Amino acid sequence: MTEVTVSLIGDTKEVNFTVIADTAATYSVFPKATLESLGVKPVTRVEIQLGDGSVITRNKGVIRLKVNGEVLPVPVLFGEEGDTIVLGVTAPEIFGLTVDPVNRRLIPARILWLSS
């Protein structure tokens, strides 16, 4: 399990979280109340298949996320009560990072580009 510290950046404040970098999760999940307090608005609703095969729906928006001092927009799910807070695989990829499970940290990844 790899834990990383990230910051959610709103218009007037910043909130820090230590989260699990979950390579099995597509999107990051943060508490709905925190996202709303930062001014994040849902842009769509998505279906998510859980590990047990069940399907749930959650609101999805975009948050400015800070990782290692760099700030970029990333997709985020509005977590409901009981949801696990995670950093999904799309967030590190957007930052050009990958999870190093041996040393339990984010490391630079080779950026891939299919050229003709």
Q: Is 113 within a domain?
A: no
Of residues 58, 57, 9, the one with CA closest to residue 37: 9
CATH code of the domain containing 80 = 2.40.70.10
Which residues make Cβ contacts (< 8 Å) with residue 40, sequence separation at least 6? Answer: 10, 61, 62, 63, 76, 78
Least confident of 16-25, 35-44, 107-116: 107-116
**Residue numbers of the domain that contains 71:** 3-108
Res 116 pLDDT > 70:
no
The count of structural domains within the chain is 1
Question: Is the whole model's pTM more than 0.85, yes or no?
Answer: yes
Q: Which tens digit of pLDDT belongs to each residue from 41-82? A: 999 999 999 989 999 999 999 999 999 999 999 999 999 999
Q: Is 91 within a domain?
A: yes
